Structure 1
């Protein structure tokens, strides 16, 4: 039989983990000089914040999508 998936029992909620991740990424980005690496971290901060908005939206049945969701667009790749 195949491998079993590893199960993780989280001690914090999904929202708390996203908030913590966004705060840590923001702190790391603030310590960097302007440049590609900082922009990549800021992109991840924005992604975590958008995930929070989407999670809030999905938690309320029948609610309208967040306004920012309609304005989402692909960000250019930073190489």
Structure 2
């Protein structure tokens, strides 16, 4: 059995930012409560992952020698 492979159209940072934006828009439609807070937390996590990814791929970061 072979694994199905697919090619992502958007880069990883683009997918992260779009997911965070989607989660915030979905949270804005909900009344205050636990579900809304969960969506906002996931959006913050996506933003944090985006910042970490940018930091790791920055030219200033050197590989260990």
1:69: which partner in 2? Answer: none
Which residue, 21, 35, 38 being the options, matches 1:37?
35
Distance in 2 of aligned mates of 1:37 and 1:54: 26
Higher relative contact order (CA 8 A, sep 6+): 2
1:70: which partner in 2? Answer: none
Higher normalized helix content (fraction of residues): 2
Using the TM superposition, give the Cα deviation of residue 7 of structure 1 relative to its aligned residue in structure 2, in angstroms: 1.5
Misfit runs of 4+, over 4 Å: none
1:5: which partner in 2? Answer: 3
Structure 2: unaligned runs, 5 residues or longer: none
TM-score w.r.t. the length of structure 1 is: 0.70
SS in structure 2 of the partner of residue 5 of structure 1: coil
Structure 1: unaligned runs, 5 residues or longer: 63-79
Using the TM superposition, give the Cα deviation of residue 5 of structure 1 relative to its aligned residue in structure 2, in angstroms: 2.7
1:50: which partner in 2? Answer: 48
